Amino acid sequence: MQITYTSGEQVEVYRFSIPVTVGVPLLALFVQAFLPLRFPWFARYVDLPLLVTIFFAMARRSPVAGLFTGAIIGLAQDMLGHNPIGIYGIAKTVVGYGASSLGVKLDVENAGARFLVTLGFYLVHSAVYFTVARGLVSMTQSWDWVHGILAGLVNAAIGVLLYFALDKFKQRT
Amino acid sequence: MESVLGRYRNLIILVGVLFLQVLGLAMQVKRMGNEAQDTRLIRIWAVGSITPFERGLVWMQTSTRNIWHNYFYLRGVRAENRDLKAQIEQMRLEQVRLSEDAAQARRLQNLLAFKEQFVAKTVAAQVIGSSGSDFSRIIYIDKGENSGIRRDMAVITPDGVVGKVALVYSSAAQVLLINDQTSGVGVIMADSRLDGWLGGSANGEVVMNDVMSDEDVPVGARVLTSGGDQIFPKGLPVGTVAKVMKGKDLFLNIKIKPTADLSKLEEVLVVVEKQEKQATADDKARVRAADILAQRLPSVPDRPTANAASVGIAPEGAAKPAGSANSLPAAKTPAATTSSLAAKSATSSTGTTPAIAPRKTGDQTSTAPLQNQPAGSATTKPSVVPPKPAISQPKPPTPPTTQPGSQPAADDNSPH
């Protein structure tokens, strides 16, 4: 497992075509909304829009692009639910910003680094969501460490595979 | 100043974006507190862009599955069909008994001027999507305003209550499931008649609230809708008690297992029309004195029941119901062939109405199907009641007759 500290000149910055930029998050949202109908555990353990946010943020390595990516994907995810719009938006904005900031400083191209980063950001995402939902919206939420870590591991494992698949769409700047 | 802005540019943008979202969130929360939720255009766009794909995918999936199940995979269908037929016959007998009970209940309700709620009309809808989040337990269905769906309509399955319509779009609707934290259903225990309300917990469990801790709530007790929420008609099955614990304050924490499988919903029914009307004893249930008299008087069957002897249970059927507590005149009716199953069905009903049960059986829907049963079915072969004479035609008193292969009528409960 290798996490290397790299200078700004060493890291590669990628960009994506417009169809990929729009299509991949939409597909992730669609799958996230559809699969729980057949596999009820999916909604409880997997957050595909979060994985897509982390991927785009880390690949672009631009905090501004990352936070906007997170905000848009999060808001779209909020719209599919019945809770107030903005809870996922805030959580994914923070994740997008954090992931792209980390991408600038660390080499997050290898599987080990990606696994750890995804696990960490899943917990960050859950913590922000929990805080906003309880503090701002007064939703009844209970923090469950076991579920959080388990779901984080599941997301990290899926994320590693997903990132390698999405790597094919990267374009060098 | 410029250098500070440049240096913390990213952070400032982050704070700005978060601030805007928090502001938007705060506005929504305030609005929700003040007035009923309005459907926002942004939600309509989001749902409108996602649901066509979901609808298409569900359609493809259903079509593929239908082609497979309806045309290719027919193994075991014949055996299943036979089993189902047998099951239907048994259920018909049960239905006869229940209809008598229901008729009696209706008569009593009529006397007490009760008003009942009926599910008058439902629209079947297919589940095409979910929120995809564990924090928002909703589903999307493929019927909306165009199909007559309105907000706050009850959504059910044949198994039980599912939820209520939360938002309506032109061709889709959002359904809030009963295990969501924000849902609430007025419920009542079927046996003890304890009432409370049902809501979801953060982890998706269904909990019954507002039952005092000194009440006795057995595990497995059935929970029905009480009708108090003005959304769900009274008496729909909701679930069974799975676990009872001491809760906060003076209340019990009762976990309910929903009868409808909320995690695997494919088709649902939306109750688009409810009717409230005073219960009336319908004509089927109404019994005239002449009918009862005709029943209790001996009669001669128009058609001899040839299979009575071959069945081999006629003597039992002739003797037992006569002595049963519910004063069944089975032996007096031409039904010397009354089966033990019919006798069981009649004797298991309440003590007041079954006096006419066998005749009602003949008049209603069960006679013909029972006579058309497959010969191999041991439980369903004997006919319960011959088709004639009809209950509405009282017969003149005739001397008791003895049928071949059956005991003489020995009704010690007969009025003469």
Most confident option among B108-122, B222-236, B361-375: B222-236
Asked if the Cβ–Cβ distance from B29 to A94 is below 8 Å, we say no
- Top pLDDT among B181 and B294 is at B181
Query: What is the reported pLDDT for B121?
Result: 83
Q: Which residue of A32, A47, A82 is the best one to mutate when testing the B interface, meaning the one whose CB has the most B CBs within 10 A?
A: A82
Smallest Cβ distance to B264: which of A40, A81, A144? A40
Residue A3 covered by a domain: no
Query: What is the reported pLDDT for B279?
Result: 56
Are A1 and A113 within 8 A, CB to CB? yes
Smallest Cβ distance to A84: which of B28, B131, B134? B28
Q: Which residue of A27, A83, A146 is the best one to mutate when testing the B interface, meaning the one whose CB has the most B CBs within 10 A?
A: A83
Asked if the Cβ–Cβ distance from A81 to B133 is below 8 Å, we say yes
Residue ranges of E strands in B131-217: 138-141, 154-156, 161-168, 173-177, 185-189, 195-200, 206-209
Asked if the Cβ–Cβ distance from B57 to A94 is below 8 Å, we say no
Asked if the Cβ–Cβ distance from A97 to B42 is below 8 Å, we say no
Residue A92: closest C-alpha in chain B: B18
Least confident piece of the model among B21-35, B199-213, B350-364: B350-364
Are B231 and B246 within 8 A, CB to CB? no
**What ranges in B269-363 are assigned the alpha helix state H?**
289-296, 307-311, 314-323, 340-347, 357-363
Chain B nearest-CA distance from A163, in A, is 21
Residue B43: closest C-alpha in chain A: A79
Residue span of the structural domain in which A112 resides:
42-172
Q: Which residue of A41, A47, A52, A80 is the best one to mutate when testing the B interface, meaning the one whose CB has the most B CBs within 10 A?
A: A80
Report d(CA A129, CA A124) in Å as an integer. Answer: 8
Residue A62 covered by a domain: yes
Asked if the Cβ–Cβ distance from B136 to A34 is below 8 Å, we say no
Asked if the Cβ–Cβ distance from A90 to B127 is below 8 Å, we say no
Residue A34 covered by a domain: no
Are B336 and B308 within 8 A, CB to CB? yes
Residue A28 covered by a domain: no
End-to-end CA distance of chain A: 27
Asked if the Cβ–Cβ distance from A44 to B134 is below 8 Å, we say yes
pLDDT digits (tens, 9 = 90+) for B111-130: 666 566 667 788 899 999 88
Count of structural domains, chain A: 1
Q: What is the mean pLDDT of chain B?
A: 69
Query: What is the reported pLDDT for B416?
Result: 36
Residue A143 covered by a domain: yes
B415 token code pair: 């009025």
Q: Cα–chain-centroid distance for residue A136? A: 22
Query: What is the reported pLDDT for B398?
Result: 43
Give pLDDT < 70 ranges for chain A.
1-11, 173
Query: What is the reported pLDDT for B103?
Result: 81
Chain A nearest-CA distance from B145, in A, is 18
User: Contacts of residue A77 in chain B, CB cutoff 8 Å?
Assistant: 132-133
Residue A138 covered by a domain: yes
Report d(CA A26, CA A24) in Å as an integer. Answer: 5
Residue A1 covered by a domain: no
Q: How many residues does chain B have?
A: 416
pLDDT digits (tens, 9 = 90+) for A87-118: 999 999 999 999 999 888 877 788 888 999 99
User: Contacts of residue B264 in chain A, CB cutoff 8 Å?
Assistant: 40
- Top pLDDT among B338 and A86 is at A86
Query: What is the reported pLDDT for B20?
Result: 87
The closest alpha carbon to A154, from A18, A10, A41, belongs to: A41
Mean pLDDT for the stretch of residues B377-399 = 40
Are B389 and B320 within 8 A, CB to CB? no
What does the domain layout of chain B look like in residue ranges? 33-70+115-278, 83-114+281-416
B33-70+115-278: which CATH number, 2.40.10.340, 1.10.4160.10, 2.60.40.10, 2.170.130.10?
A: 2.40.10.340
Q: What is the mean pLDDT of chain A?
A: 87
- In the predicted structure, residue B51 carries a pLDDT above the cut 70: yes
Query: What is the reported pLDDT for B332?
Result: 38
Asked if the Cβ–Cβ distance from B18 to A88 is below 8 Å, we say no
Residue A163 covered by a domain: yes
Residue A44: closest C-alpha in chain B: B134
Are A56 and A69 within 8 A, CB to CB? yes
| Position B178 confidence tier, pLDDT thresholds 50, 70, 90 | very high
Asked if the Cβ–Cβ distance from B130 to A43 is below 8 Å, we say yes
Residue A62: closest C-alpha in chain B: B10
Residue B128: closest C-alpha in chain A: A34
Query: What is the reported pLDDT for B226?
Result: 87
B405 sits in the region (left: phi over 0; alpha: psi -120 to 50; else beta) called: left
